[in-house]
Amino acid sequence: MKNGNKKNNLFDNLSDEDLDLKIKKLKSMRLEYFKLSTKKITHLSLLLAINVILSFICFLIFTKIAFLGFLKIELSFITYILCWRLINSFYASLIVFIGTWLRFGWLDIDFVGLISLNISDLLALWLYICFHHIFTRIIKFDKKVYKYLLPSLSIIITIISVGLINVVLNFLFLLPMYIYFLGYYESASKFLESLNLNWPLYGSIIFGFNLLKYSINFIIYVSIQEVLEKIVPKL
């Protein structure tokens, strides 16, 4: 009852006009967040074009040196972070799906591999957004620490977290699904035996691969973010 009375008192302190203004402001913010303006469409188109170009370059360069034959370095994750910084997290998440499945049929026919890539990139994006928010908005320190150390910490924690979660997902269903669609082996264990691997070693490779992949993407992003964020908004 006390909590209910407190809530009522909070609303009682607001006049009808103030309440209407607050509601209108929230509605306006929501509409602005999802509204596809000409500027947003331009940014999305540009980032999607860059995504396709990066995917094609990675296909030409990294396909022949893929780890275990199917773990290939991708640089398209850079475009998802840029989309979040330039537009918002909703459209960044949307472009993860579009950018991943746009390559199906001409750059990549590995259905399970694309599912894995989609889940991994979406997971990495949201983890980075969450950690970045925590370390740059909720936790506040000295300006120099705020500018350099905390964003770097959010990147490091994101990379390690994505690596560990991807290991778990591979053990739970991604590798068994891959073996099922491959159709050559009776089980995931038989597949690993054919590669002279055991489960712990395979997990270590998956973890190391994700560390390498997202480290490369974040290093490139940190190197170019200031330049791109000055140029792209002017387009």
Q: What is the CA radius of gyration of the chain?
A: 22
Check whether 131 has a pLDDT greater than 50. Answer: yes
Mean per-residue pLDDT, 126-145: 79
Question: Confidence band (pLDDT; 50, 70, 90) for 114?
Answer: very high
- The tens digit of pLDDT for each residue in 12-69 reads 555 666 666 777 777 777 778 888 888 889 889 999 999 999 999 998 888 888 888 7
Give the pLDDT of residue 198. 92
Residues in contact with 215: Cβ distance below 8 Å, sequence separation at least 6, in sequence order: 159
pTM over 0.75: yes
Give 202 or 36, the one with higher predicted confidence.
202
Give the pLDDT of residue 75. 93
Spatial contact of 99 and 44, defined as CB atoms under 8 Å apart: no
Output DSSP code: residue 64. G
